Chain A
């Protein structure tokens, strides 16, 4: 009887220990998420205002545009087995489970996940942005991600909202190369009574794999296309860029203004209900 009690207590202690840890103690196998940032089928080349090499895209409403900077945050990654089991990947640890995808840094376009349990996977889910529980710029809790996001050449932070920037797109539009600057992020701060203040720009993306990813001895690579043509010519909103200082103007004073931002958010990351893919699609899986 005593023995049983001891075993039980040890079991409880061990479980408590594990629940503090992240569940990455399984078989050591990698899965690679590879991001191809495109305008339609063309991989984007960045360039400054008058660049001749930058990839130029024309929106549904006829506005030519190109980017000088393209960054976004992914987190909350989950892989779904063919039997429906969901395998979360450090979903509550930004240091181990979130990344800044930066078009100017080729290494950042491949996100390598470690210790994924062996098996067949049919679906990948991830967040564009950071879910609100973790979006607090908590440097003590996640010093690594805080440093990556806050770096001077990355600037994926919204200091005033104590949250991360989820996407940061800088570029130029129209023949006279007017500046465009689209930043997205959440402004949710909490509750004031029954009133929940702010907008949540986090979007959950759900992508079905065309070919199952087989995790075992090899490291499968899942290629994901992020088609930034959707920014202006999305499934949800067709956006016309307009420079100026009014509430309707969206091209540049849009840096921190939630009014126009959410249209871009829905185009890039879907609306969280009828559209769960936004600009993302699966190109293929290499096993």
Chain B
């Protein structure tokens, strides 16, 4: 009888174990690992849907930040995520095109990492829809870190600090690819820039100067149809006739969608902290904001799928010198020095 009872227990137990083994991504939320309280203005857009499944936690963010700054992610231990995503540049850098290990050059400009919690599409062509799926790309890309996730795991798994943090976040010290991706994403979700002068004006805690005010008025007439919402991007993809990247891998969003109308279209970039993210354009075509505005004023390249904003207006956005200067003054009110540490 006793034997039967034991057998029965063993059977139940083994069944439960197997069920767990078959289950994927089972991650318990630990009670002493509190959710991070995020300070988000009411006028910001809603979260990316996937973020609800990976809400930033206190230790998750600490772990993610540590991983983000860990040079062991690159094949030769020379660069971390933070080597290209530098806080002072709103987590972008000042290179024309991204530079990876051994000086290898990518084919696009490093995008800033800010307000990703609210983005529906990531990267210039929007190929990634879920932030947790992004970290693998730079890890394995030849022109970036040129490593692999198993290589990284083997390098960090015996690190005592990581063992402690992984245990605090996930319940045990196992370092897995998914856990790495989730932690980095949690950290990135907390990189929210909402403390610019513009935001203070919006909350009636500050007022624009005359230049800024005039710039804001021009902005609302000539820019806002694309640089819309509190993020200053409507997250649409448009071909605005910028000089074309000579790299043969470049096709803009068409690379992702296979649609002719997306050829050389890119996501409208956010203008927050735009003062710190020069050079501008998908491969750093423009050194300064003035250069960009001069280009719009002079006229852009024609294309079959050139955005109607240009197509219907003689392929340009006419701007006087005064308007350009005012616009730049306004754009600088989108700088968040607490966020960038400048």
Residues of A within 8 A of B (CB): 2-3, 5-6, 9-10, 12-13, 16-17, 19-20, 137-140, 143, 146, 150, 157, 159-162, 187, 189-192, 197-199, 245, 247, 252-253, 255-259, 261-262
Contacts and interface: CB of A to CB of B under 8 A. Distances in A.
B137 A159 contact: yes
Interface in B88-142: 120-121, 126-130, 133, 136-137, 140-142
A281 to B, nearest CB: 27
B40 interface: no
B21 interface: yes
A71 B254 CA distance: 24
Interface string B190-207: 000000000000000000
Contacts of B4: 2-3, 6
A256 B251 contact: yes
Contact of A198 (B137, B150, B256): B256
A259 B18 CA distance: 45
Contacts of A19: 22
Interface in B11-66: 11-12, 14-15, 18-19, 21-22
B8 interface: yes
Interface string B161-185: 0000000000000001100000000
Contacts of A189: 127-130, 133, 256
Given A20-B18, A197-B129, A257-B255, A162 B11 contact: no
A191 B97 CA distance: 29
B50 to A, nearest CB: 9
A43 B22 CA distance: 45
Interface string B262-288: 011000000000000000000000000
A140 B148 CA distance: 10
A161 B125 CA distance: 11
A159 B141 contact: yes
A150 B150 CA distance: 13
Given A187-B255, A247-B251, A12 B244 contact: no
Highest count of chain B CB atoms <10 Å: which of A2, A3, A150: A2
Majority secondary structure of chain A interface residues (helix, strand, loop or mixed):
mixed
Contacts of A245: 244, 246, 248
A209 to B, nearest CB: 34
Contact of B254 (A3, A139, A197, A258): A258
B177 A139 contact: yes
A255 B250 CA distance: 9
Given A10-B11, A16-B22, A187-B257, 8 more contacts: A16-B18, A139-B177, A159-B140, A198-B257, A253-B249, A255-B248, A259-B258, A259-B259
B7 interface: yes
Contacts of B120: 192
- B contact residues, range: 35 or more
Contacts, number: 120
Contacts of A3: 4
Given A20-B18, A258-B257, A9 B8 contact: yes
A9 B149 CA distance: 39
Contact of A190 (B12, B130, B137): B130
Given A139-B150, A162-B133, A198-B257, A20 B22 contact: yes
Contact of A13 (B15, B177, B248): B15
Contacts of A198: 127, 256-258
B260 interface: yes
Given A253-B251, A258-B258, A140 B176 contact: yes
27 contacts: A2-B8, A3-B4, A9-B8, A9-B12, A13-B14, A16-B15, A16-B18, A17-B18, A19-B22, A20-B18, A137-B136, A159-B137, A162-B133, A187-B256, A189-B127, A197-B126, A197-B129, A197-B256, A197-B257, A198-B256, A247-B264, A247-B304, A252-B248, A256-B251, A258-B254, A259-B251, A259-B263
Nearest to B151: A139
Nearest to A146: B148
B127 A6 contact: no
A139 B15 contact: no
Nearest to A19: B22
Nearest to B249: A256
A247 B129 contact: no
Contacts of A253: 248-249, 251
Contact of A6 (B8, B140, B148, B260): B8
A164 B130 CA distance: 19
Contacts of B133: 162, 189-190
B21 A258 contact: no
